[in-house]
Amino acid sequence: MQSVTAPFQFESNLALPQQEIDVFQKFIHEIRGIYGEDWGFVFDIKDNISQVLRCIYSDTHDSKLLPLGHIPIAANLSWRSMALTMQEPLFFDSLDLDDPRSFYLQRTIRPRQMAVFQIKADANIGLVSMFGLKESKVTIREQDLASIQHRCQEQLLVVFQKLSWRLEQHVMDQATRAIRQQETPIFICQLFNRLLELPVLLIRRLNGDTYQALNQSGLEDDFDCNRLLFNLKDREQQVFFTAEWQHITKDSSFPPDQTMTGIVFKPGNTILLCKGVVRLTGRTKDNIFHYIEQIEKLLKRKPVPISTLSFLVYLQHWVRSQDRDINVIFQHLIDTLVPFLGADFGTLALYSREQNRLMFVSQAGEFTNPLKDLPLVDKNGEPTSIAAHVIRMNKPYLVPDVRKDRYYRAFNPAIRSEICAPIRVRGEIIGVFSISSRELHHFHQLELGKLLFYCDQIGIALLQAGILDKAFTETEEAQKQAQDVRFGFDQHTHAKEVQYTFGNLVGHPQGAMRAVFDAIHKINNSGREDLNVLITGETGCGKEMVSFALHNSSQRGKKPMVVTNFASFGGDPNLIQSELFGHEKGSFSGATNRRIGCIEQAHETTLLIDEVGDIVPSVQIKLLRVLQQGNNKKFQRLGGQDHISSNVRVLAATHQNLWNLVEQGKFREDLFYRLQTLVIRIPPLRERLEDIPLLLTHFCARYERKVAGLKIQTSNRAVQTLQDYAWPGNVRQLEAVINRALVMFSENGELTEEAVKRSLAAEMRHAASGPPAQQSGTSLFRQVCKGGENAFWEHIQKPYRNHDLTHGQLVELVREALTESKGSYKQAAAAMGVAESDYNRFLDFLKNSRAKLDYREFRR
């Protein structure tokens, strides 16, 4: 039997957003005010997928967020899981810690008293546990329980509901991602094993009557399973749950097991069995249903139908080339999609997070009502429409009969059934798309998946087309104008209003930038705004953009971020110190006035210290002292006596290798470790070529906005040419090359391969004419030739790896070497000191560095 290490791990921690923490803290504060100081609190939420209670918040210890502990939901295992199945609060005046049900408490907080309250939606979805740690101080009385239960329900239900949805989404997302990456049947077993926390057996028909049974650790024997399938064949449902395995499998060679409960999905004759009893609550069933659908898709993996493909091509083409009026684009999208999906009507709405409103932007089909805006919820906190419900749930929603749906508002009396799905851009909902029919039960689960698929495509297309950018930019500009009046800083420090948002930080959602997006998301959702973050990456790869995205999506984003850059300070300690901390008049020669430093300016917002590696060591120690403090950072101005306090979050950026600086004695080791706590590394552009088409579209759209009426067409070969280059100057250089190609070498808005090549050639000439030390006087090639044995590796390969030699210079070198050798790589290599035994390594290096030129050009 083959054994496999489980590849699938759920992330253990679900970060709690600050908003939720605030609600919990307020609740605790209130309860403590009424019932005394001594109550400890734990908030547990039911995880329907893994069937465990997860601790999401605790203030029984000093740390607010405990690592996510979990207790299995089995009524007799713990008091809390028992309370989950009860209707009334659970209360113990004097808790017996020796009772087996106190197992979890005994290991952790060891309380003497305990009360557990339920949060009820359709069923109990979470618990609030209160613990008395010292017997004497407890003032809660049994008659108070009902009132506390009422408060829990009133104040916490919405938060628990939200968290419950998020938890589910979180687990689903992880599982879906994992399924996409690992699609072997064994993996599917492992996945189900994790989800259900039960042993699992997957039975698949191989051919004819041969079946294969797999468990989560590898292959089992082939066996005959005809009987089993024969008994299943009359079942209509494709997926169902059964507790009747003993009947079905009694005479078959399938191991009969009284405790076996099955989850069956029939298409493709694939059967999944679980050993043990799966608790089939409504939600568990839905969740498992969802997984099985995903897995079925993977098992069957059909190619995308041609009509879908052509639609996607059409979608891309259309959003890129048509009028950029957002409303026209949306109308066109919906007019195309509604008949394409076999529906009679369609509605597209955008969601404004700030205003918590839905703006219906376009409709297709016969609507008599005009489009309007709606708040997301009414005064009772209920969703105002199906679209609003979808936004709250962040999930597609199927309505077989609108008259029976509690969220449906009759915008159109002809509508009988509907499906609605969120449009998401990098996980954020930007709107919803619903399609409806005149017939009852017109749509099924399958269509729901389809609609979601198209919504995802629309999100990607809009993002790529830079259309969302436009919407962002317009809002940003309005905000910026307002901010500019309020802030006036000197030449180094500047406050910038929302210059970059997630919306215009371009990166392929499944590519190398994914880690950067995830990091921003996680850091901001950790609720720890006092954490310093170091952002590293080569020059021009977007460190400043990422800093802005981090700031703007954080709680501090309401105020402009303060940015300072030390590259231009020439290492002068007085100037650097004054820039950071400010100075008093006369504190050093030239200090003619008091100056407020950037840490002080950044009170209640974020400070970006760009090029932190340029701060001299004498100031580094002072910066370290500030960074070591929490949110409120205390310091003195240069030459000042007063202690100033500033509530600031610090982001630091650098293109340098800080550890190298530490080794050279230029950077303090303690500051290095302090900054290393949270690092976002932005990959260089050559490591994320998947971003180049997106960036190209982004920069073209930006260019179009500057030239009235211009529509840019790009060719695939142009994109390929851009992807063939190594981009030592990263996105900034790419932007320059694209702009040059558009301005100098394009006609009628056509960005051809030729235009890109010419722009790149100009770029290389420019790079090669730079002043690298080796080049002064004579050419780089000649210098290397003089270097003798191994010169190529020492003087070319190494500096290129360390980025001391640009790609342009490398290409120039190869060009010159081949010119000299009349196209012979062998001779060129020998001339530059490459040993014969290293010849293949030499060619590989050139190939991998995209510097292997076509030798035939040099044969003439």
Ligand X SMILES: Nc1ncnc2c1ncn2[C@@H]1O[C@H](COP(=O)(O)OP(=O)(O)OP(=O)(O)O)[C@@H](O)[C@H]1O
Binding residues (CB under 6 A) for ligand X: these are 505-507, 537, 539-545, 655, 695, 698, 731-732, 735
Q: Are 215 and 6 in contact (CB under 8 A)?
A: no
Could you give the CA distance from residue 272 to residue 292 in angstroms, rounded to a whole number?
A: 9
Does residue 615 contact residue 565 with C-beta atoms inside 8 Å?
no
> Distance (Å, rounded) from C-alpha 214 to C-alpha 202?
5
* Interstrand relation of 713-714 and 750-751 (parallel, antiparallel or unpaired): parallel
Percentage helix, strand, coil, to 5, in the chain? Answer: 45, 20, 35
Residue 164 or 504 having the CB closest to ligand X: 504
| Spatial CB neighbours of 114, under 8 Å, sequence gap ≥ 6 | 79, 90, 91, 92, 95, 105, 129, 130, 131, 132
- DSSP bridge partners of 607: 562, 650
Distances (CA, A) of 239 to 178, 264, 285, 501, 541: 22, 5, 10, 43, 48
Nearer to ligand X, 198 or 731 (CB): 731
Nearer to ligand X, 350 or 505 (CB): 505
Could you write out the DSSP letters of every residue in 170-193?
HHHHHHHHHHHH---HHHHHHHHH
CB under 8 Å to 93, separation ≥6 — which residues? 113
Closest approach of Cβ 483 to ligand X, in Å? 20
- The residue (of 502 and 581) whose beta carbon lies closer to ligand X is 502
Taking each continuous run of H as one helix and of E as one strand, the counts in the chain are 30, 30
Other beta carbons less than 10 A from residue 372's beta carbon: 9
Whichever of 695 and 846 has its CB closer to ligand X, that residue is: 695
Q: Considering beta carbons, is residue 505 or 671 the nearer one to ligand X?
A: 505
In angstroms, what is the minimal distance from the CB of 537 to ligand X? 5
CB of 774 to ligand X, least distance (A): 23
End-to-end CA distance of the chain: 63
Q: Which is nearer to ligand X, 361 or 734 (CB)?
A: 734
d(CA 321, CA 335): 17
Cα dihedral 22, 25, 31, 33 sign: negative
151 or 470: whose CB is closer to ligand X? 470
Provide the H-helix boundaries in 304-366. 306-321, 326-340
Q: Are 42 and 108 in contact (CB under 8 A)?
A: no
Kindly tell me which of 432 and 731 has the beta carbon lying closer to ligand X: 731
CB distance 299 to 270 below 8 Å? yes
Distances (CA, A) of 180 to 298, 395, 447, 519: 8, 19, 21, 21
Of 519 and 695, nearer to ligand X (C-beta) is 695
Query: Phi-psi bin for 315: left (phi > 0), alpha (psi -120 to 50), beta?
Result: alpha
Question: CB 654 → ligand X: shortest distance, Å?
Answer: 8
- Cβ 834 to ligand X, closest distance in Å? 34
To ligand X, the closest distance from the beta carbon of 526 in angstroms equals 23
User: Smallest distance from the beta carbon of 463 to ligand X, in angstroms?
Assistant: 11
Q: Which is nearer to ligand X, 442 or 698 (CB)?
A: 698
Residue 161 or 539 with smaller CB distance to ligand X: 539
Least distance CB 476 / ligand X (angstroms): 14
Residue 547 Cβ vs ligand X, minimum distance, rounded to whole Å = 8
Least distance to ligand X, CB of residue 344, Å: 40
Cβ atoms of 44 and 54 closer than 8 Å:
yes
What SS3 string covers 483-498?
Answer: HHHHCCCCCCCEEECC
Least distance (Å) from ligand X to the CB of residue 541? 5
The dihedral through the CA atoms of 736, 738, 744, 748 has a sign that is negative
Overall size of the chain counted in residues:
860
Q: Which two tokens stand for residue 262?
A: 């099955």
The helix (H) or strand (E) run that includes residue 118 is strand 113-120
Token readout for 99 is 């009772």
Closer to ligand X at the Cβ: 505 or 575?
505
For residue 422, the SS3 value is: strand
CB of 546 vs ligand X, minimal distance in Å: 7
Closest distance of CB 543 from ligand X, Å: 3
Task: Give the list of residues 6+ apart from residue 478 with CB closer than 8 angstroms, or none.
Answer: none
Residue of 803, 813, 807, 811 whose CA lies nearest to 775: 813
Smallest distance, ligand X to C-beta of residue 627, A: 20
Structure tokens belonging to residue 533: 């973050």
Return the residue nearest ligand X (CB atom): 542
Read off φ and ψ for residue 481, nearest 5 degrees: -55, -45
Of the pair 129, 733, the CB lying nearest ligand X is at 733
Q: Specify the residue, 412 or 697, whose C-beta has the smaller distance to ligand X.
A: 697
- Of 157 and 736, the one with the shorter C-beta distance to ligand X is 736
Q: Which helix (H) or strand (E) holds 102?
A: none
Q: In angstroms, what is the minimal distance from the CB of 730 to ligand X?
A: 7
Cβ-based neighbour number of residue 286 at 10 Å: 11
Q: How far apart are CA 700 and CA 718, in angstroms?
A: 13
**CB of 286: closest distance to ligand X in angstroms?**
38
The answer to whether 481 touches 641, Cβ cutoff 8 Å, is no
Q: Minimal distance in Å, beta carbon 712 to ligand X? A: 17
Cα–Cα dist 822/801, whole Å: 27
Q: Which is nearer to ligand X, 442 or 508 (CB)?
A: 508
Shortest distance, CB of residue 548 to ligand X, whole angstroms?
A: 8
DSSP-assigned beta bridge partners for residue 182: none
Instruction: Report the alpha-carbon distance of residue 810 to residue 850 in Å, rounded.
Output: 9
**Residue among 24 and 699 whose Cβ is closer to ligand X:** 699
